[in-house]
Structure 1
């Protein structure tokens, strides 16, 4: 974490100024510091450096005090010499300027730690390690800035800090999400369904996921179709969602922790599904229209496939929560719908009947059942009354299959 995220967008007065504090360990170190200061100067940072000071007799302690207190930041260049002097462990007759500057910084910190902690920036030049930062600057507990090379990429963290250009910008604060209580005063148990003027087009599984087939195993399809979406999802948004489908599906029990998954995309949708060749598996998809979809198999029985209304309700409740929580913008309303295909070997019953060796199947049952997306529910209902929505969808599907 860096303090830069809480700083203003710009420094008052334009270019930032930094005072460079270092110890004269040897000529090679002095040259490296000068090259580093030149790099900063070339990139819009106004540097105060003793090697560039006016060439006349001066009080160096007064010069350092003025430079430190009037600059926006003080950069402390880590080195073995600075660590010794800064911690008070060096010889009294060496690096007198470094001793004076370190003592001043300690005093400034002691006087106003809140103000000076974000202004003093320990910097590790190439080849230097954290052991070169004096203890009073908290090398392990506070930020430090590694400069891998005197290039924008090699010093990006430091440049972003002194120019107050954060890597990640906090988005504006949105409206508080209303989540009704599940019980007690104000609880909502029944969703309000609103009839739409006309049905909204639904992307069913064969069209949503090219090349995906149910084979002979029936799959329940659950779709949340946005009502009057504000905008189509961009390809980059789809790519972001694609990265979370597997983890989201596993965390909400659509996928088991161990089963293999196929994660793919087209220019219109992204999807992930269990890739076992033996079963239809479960899947999760998002379309550019904003439609959110998941599918899962009915229970395999000794004879055919079994759909238990209570069990279906439980699964739909979980999966509605999964779809609602995907990291893409939520519209104000969704049109939930459900379907199943193929249905020829599916019967409605109780899970306890799965092992039965005799069973009856409806005569003339259609090969697929699909309901139009012609009724909408509010997002608040989707979150607060998911079970009510699941019960209604389960009732529609099982009633249609029971003949």
Structure 2
């Protein structure tokens, strides 16, 4: 007679292998275990059960050892008989096979508790309770699996463990929050050996959109290491730009946002003048850019240095959190366009009915890269960098 090798070796694959260990408490209990095993097989589980291995004479001790150690999991069916036999308090002359299996399981747990705690799964069939789980399986400190009915629905939690399909999975990791220190030295910038090329907002916007209100634009230009993003990376970052911009307050929750990308850049922007024109962009060469409107007043717009510093700090953090690889350092640049009907002042003056506006203001202020900051410095002291940018813009405005 040809030998059936189904229980002789374990071949990991699509169908997990589970050994069922139980005691023959009664014919009713044996039949319940058989029905349960049949259900598992129909759910794709390769079940090892003693009643299906009687086609030839067996050395049951060797059979159990071989299949327990060769299975992905051992399902211990809790019952009054298994409790007595599993904890070694039952009559020695009863359930000899079950006693041998439980002794092996106790020994395996003692030798490698972490591995076998995960592989041995106590199961409660209908009519049985937690108090029938042997103490060596830690019924109060480890998981057990209740099967209130022998149906696919009632065995879902057990099937998820057997097939390694968890019900709940964690979300993808988001960007690490930037938590700058509240005190300490300001970052020490390096001098840019030569002004770096800056791609301005007007070159990024589709169809050369021109704003009617003064927009502050801030650029972070890679200064130390070469960065080049792929076109696919730019396509995939568009939605993140919109989501991050809205989450950090660049875009309001009611503001309409347009997202897009090209071979050279990805962007998310709003041209809604009532809500404040603003945008966020990443260039293929690594530059990161954002722009936003100055606060409006009864007469024109106000450049409040303190307010601008706070907004630039928030925007610096936003630009650094974009989920693309960063260079070693950035050189910041700032601009204001258009400048007409803009004045230096305080937000508290916004409702004044009279204002002193500059005579013959420049059409735009474009300040290039002058200093280089390492990424760690920008992350740790964004406000100090923002203060310097706001000061540079205010000084240029007064000229």
Give the TM-score taking structure 2 as reference length.
0.67
Mapped contact 2:61–2:97 kept (Cα < 8 A): no
Residue aligning to 1:215: 211
Residue aligning to 1:312: 308
Structure 1 residues 17-32: aligned runs within 5 Å = 18-21=17-20, 25=32, 30-32=37-39
Instruction: Quote how far apart the aligned CAs of 1:345 are.
Output: 1.8
**Structure 1, 374-383 or 133-142: larger mean CA deviation:** 133-142
Residue aligning to 1:259: 254
Q: Distance in 1 between the 2:398 and 2:269 partners?
A: 28
Mapped contact 1:286–1:293 kept (Cα < 8 A): yes
Residue aligning to 1:3: none
Mapped contact 1:179–1:380 kept (Cα < 8 A): no
Residue aligning to 2:298: 302
1:244 aligns with 2:240: yes
Residue aligning to 1:118: 118
1:383 aligns with 2:383: no
Residue aligning to 1:5: none
Instruction: Quote how far apart the aligned CAs of 1:36 are.
Output: 5.8
Structure 1 residues 327-338: aligned runs within 5 Å = 327-338=323-334
Residue aligning to 1:74: 73
Q: Deviations over 1:92-120 (max 9, x none)?
A: 9xxx7996698468635764532312333
Q: Distance in 2 between the 1:132 and 1:284 partners?
A: 60
Q: Distance in 2 between the 1:212 and 1:119 partners?
A: 64
Structure 1 residues 340-359: aligned runs within 5 Å = 340-359=336-355
Q: Deviations over 1:53-81 (max 9, x none)?
A: 5842124354223321x32632539xxxx
* Cα gap change, 1:333 to 1:373, in 2 (>3 Å): same
Q: Distance in 1 between the 2:230 and 2:139 partners?
A: 44
Q: Distance in 2 between the 1:102 and 1:206 partners?
A: 77
1:188 aligns with 2:156: no
Q: Distance in 2 between the 1:50 and 1:250 partners?
A: 62
* Cα gap change, 1:232 to 1:100, in 2 (>3 Å): farther
* Cα gap change, 1:277 to 1:303, in 2 (>3 Å): closer
**Superposition RMSD on alpha carbons, in Å?**
4.8
Residue aligning to 1:323: 319
Residue aligning to 1:401: 397
Mapped contact 2:21–2:101 kept (Cα < 8 A): no
Mapped contact 1:20–1:49 kept (Cα < 8 A): yes
Q: Distance in 2 between the 1:117 and 1:275 partners?
A: 60
Q: Distance in 1 between the 2:78 and 2:363 partners?
A: 78
Q: Distance in 1 between the 2:332 and 2:81 partners?
A: 66
* Cα gap change, 1:108 to 1:279, in 2 (>3 Å): same
1:222 match: secondary structure:
strand
Gaps of at least 5 residues in structure 2 are 1-9, 23-29, 85-89, 146-151, 153-158
Q: Distance in 1 between the 2:50 and 2:162 partners?
A: 21
Instruction: Quote how far apart the aligned CAs of 1:323 are.
Output: 1.6
1:56 aligns with 2:52: no
How many residue pairs are counted as aligned between the two chains? 348
Mapped contact 2:64–2:101 kept (Cα < 8 A): no
Q: Distance in 1 between the 2:256 and 2:96 partners?
A: 63
Q: Distance in 2 between the 1:101 and 1:261 partners?
A: 70
